[in-house]
Structure 1
C-alpha cells in the first residue's frame, strides 16, 4: 500500500548564487533527499501536448522548469492539486505513489527530471485504475 499523499509533495528551493553576470543554481546532495541515478529532460513539447500520466511504485522524482513554464497536476487517488513550475531555482519533489500529469508547456520550456533510479518499466503504473488499486492494496 502506498500511503503517500499530496501533502508529501514538496516545492524545494534550489540554492542559487546571484551575480550581475547571471545566476547559478546548484543541486547537490543536500538539496534533494536521494542520490540521483538518472537525469532526463523534456523539451520542444507542443503547448497542447500532455506528458506524464503515470505514477511510480518506488522511484522518486524532482522536476525543475529550467526554461519557460508548465503545469504539474498531482493526484494521490483522494486529492488533486496543480502546481505551475516557472522558476529554475524551485523544484517539485514527487514521492512514490503520486500520479502526475504535465501540460500547458510554454514555448521554449524545458523540464529537467532528476530521478532516484534508472529506468524500469516495472516501476511505472500507467493506467489510472491500476494506480487506484495500488493505493488501496
Structure 2
C-alpha cells in the first residue's frame, strides 16, 4: 500500500440556519468500504498521543467531529501530516499505514469509522516490525 491512497474525502454538508448536517455512507458511496465499527476519542489530555500502530487489512475514515488534531501517516517509506478540523472532511486511511494522532485541541472529538470489527491480530504495534513487513524483510 502507498501513502498516495490516503486522502481527504469531502463529505456531504447540508447547510441550514438551524444547524448543518453531514452524513457518511459506506459501500463505495462516500468511502470505499462498509462500516463495521465506529469509535471515537475524546477528553484526550493535552500533549497526549493516540494511535501509534498500523493495520494489516483495516480501512478507516477519521473525522474531527469537534476541535482539531493532526494525523501523521507513514507507509514505511514516506510520511504525511493531515490537520483535521472540519466535521465535513474525513481522512481515508488505507491498510498498511502506521498512524499517530497528535496535537489534540481542547474539546476535540475524533470519530473513526472502521471496515472491520476489532481484531488484535490485524494490528502492528511495533514500528520496526511494521517497516520490516512493508519492505519485505
TM-score (norm 2): 0.96
Work out the CA distance in 1 between the residues paired with 2:46 and 2:60: 23
Aligned to 2:33: 34
For residue 16 of structure 1, what is the aligned residue in structure 2? 13
In structure 1, C-alpha distance between the alignment counterparts of 2:75 and 2:34, rounded to whole Å:
24
Structure 2 counterparts to residues 1-137 of structure 1, below 5 A? 4-29=1-26, 30-137=29-136
**TM-score, with length taken from structure 1:** 0.96
In 2, distance between residues paired with 1:76 and 1:51? 17
Q: How many residues align?
A: 134
Which residues of structure 1 form unaligned runs of 5+? none
Q: Kindly state the Cα deviation for residue 136 of structure 1 after the two structures are TM-superposed.
A: 1.8
Tell me, what secondary structure is at the counterpart of 2:111?
strand
C-alpha distance in structure 1 between counterparts of 2:135 and 2:113, whole Å: 28
Contact conserved, 2:76 with 2:135, CA < 8 A, in 1?
no
Deviation beyond 4 Å, 4+ runs, structure 1: none
Question: What is the SS of the residue equivalent to 1:122?
Answer: helix
